[in-house]
Structure 1
Amino acid sequence: MTRVVGKRAARRAELFDQLVGLFLDEGFAHLTLDDVAARLRCSKSTLYTLAESKDDLVRAATVHFFRRAADEVEEALARVDSGAGDRVTAYLEAVGDQLAPASARFMEDLARMPGARGVYEQNTAIAAERVRTLIAEGVGAGEFRSVSAEFVADVVASTMVRIQQRDVARATGFDDAQAYRELAALVTRGIAR
């Protein structure tokens, strides 16, 4: 029985990985469940084992994407054993790297669909809190000038929301990955001793 459950879980994870890849490449608003099933070479009933509707499927795929991305970002941060500035930079650049495969169409669809947008907003809030913690650690260690970590994190969160809502892309032409790299440079240089 355990082997069957393990195979089901593996197949489910594989389907979500394929689904995320499809959505990142092409977006999702224009796709029907029939389109998705055909592209993933599965039945619609298989998709219904993942979620009850297209909106639920998109939300679940978005959760899957951000859960995997969060793990990758934390792994990238764990590899940095140098100073606080390098850790903030590594964190924000890793966020950008995780968003790099996302097409403009995916990001636009994400901004328009409430369930998926909510997942992005929640992950943005978590990332901003992580940045606040990293900055506070750097201030405490004397590596950053004395700044309010809460204020800097609030500015970072505001920028992250603007990135998420496509405002930065419209204003600068930057994709999300570029925007996060620029944000990392701005923050670390702005609070450096």
Structure 2
Amino acid sequence: MPARQRRKAARPQELLDAALGLFVEKGFAATRTEEVAERAGVSKGTLYLYYPSKEDLLKAVIAQNISREIAESMDRVAQHQGGSAELLRQMLREWWANAGEASCGGICRLMMSEAGNFPALASYYEAEVIEPARRLWRAVLERGIARGEFRPMPLDSTVAALMAPMLFLVMQQHTATSCPQLASPVDPAEVVERIADLVLDGLRAPAAASRVRRA
């Protein structure tokens, strides 16, 4: 493929990378499309050929960096052959790797802080990220209950209780980027392990808990 064609094929990704960096650094409202185009090394007109508005650009960033990952995680849940406790811990670790340690996790902080000013984007984020994430964790819990590894419990409130500390940790991590005083005093990856321990202690069915204690 000629260099010019390769450059054209790579351009949407370059624009999304530039937009992600600026949105996380400056926020959605404060980021201008001219800045995205400049960081990507293209004209503003070229940017609009791919993404007609700043809202379209953010939606594409969310779809590529978050929605796609949730869909891939759902596939991994469906294909998992081991125990549900192992699966849940693995999924929490992946959540941290993909949202806490990666720059796209800053989108979560951005949406929390700016969604009220952009209701259409908030609705998009709800439909494309929050609801799929709930379905993902519900699938993990349903698997464990069906296999007798987790005790039956109200799924909606359990999913909320599972997601809340992880969301707080992600928010804290990405707030600390601009405000180091708010950084976690302990290794966040270690906190993820303790979250998994606490959640699994509460989820395990009595027989499964007895097997863990004997082991």
TM > 0.5 fold call: yes
Out of 132, 152, 161, the position equivalent to 2:158 is: 152
Distance 1:60 1:181, change over 3 A: farther
Is the contact between residue 70 and residue 136 of structure 2 (CA under 8 Å) also seen in structure 1? no
- Rounded to whole Å, the distance in 1 between the matches of 2:203 and 2:152 is 8
**1:113-170 alpha-carbon deviations (Å, 9 max, x no partner):** 435444443312211222112112111211123333344224335x279649948988
Alignment partner, residue 3 of structure 1: none
Structure 1: gaps of 5 or more residues: 1-5
Mark the CA change 1:149 to 1:55 in structure 2 (over 3 Å): closer, same or farther.
closer
Is residue 100 of structure 2 the alignment partner of residue 94 of structure 1? no
- Deviation (angstroms), 1:8: 9.3
Which residue does 2:145 correspond to in 1? 139
Tell me whether 1:189 sits opposite 2:195 in the alignment: no
Match of 1:19 in 2: 18
Letter in 2 for 1:109: L
**Displacement of 1:36:** 1.0
- Aligned partners of 2:125, 2:196: CA distance in 1, in Å? 19
1:37-186 to structure 2, matched below 5 A, reads 37-74=37-74, 77=77, 80-99=80-99, 100-102=101-103, 106-111=107-112, 112-113=114-115, 114=118, 115-122=120-127, 123-157=129-163, 159=164, 163=168, 166=171, 183-186=195-198
Please say which structure displays the higher CA radius of gyration.
2
Q: Deviations over 1:161-186 (max 9, x none)?
A: 9649948988x855xx7576654443
1:32 aligns with 2:32: yes
Where do 5+ consecutive residues of structure 2 fail to align? Answer: 176-181, 210-215
Q: Is the 8 A contact 1:37 1:47 kept in 2?
A: yes
Per-residue deviation, residues 25-70 of structure 1 (Å, max 9, x unmatched): 5244332111111110011111112322223322322222213322
Q: Which residue of 1 aligns with 2:179?
A: none
What amino acid is aligned across from residue 102 of structure 1 in structure 2? S
* Count of aligned positions: 184
TM (normalized to structure 1)? 0.70
Shift, 1:79, TM fit: 7.5
Q: What is the percent sequence identity of the aligned residues?
A: 19
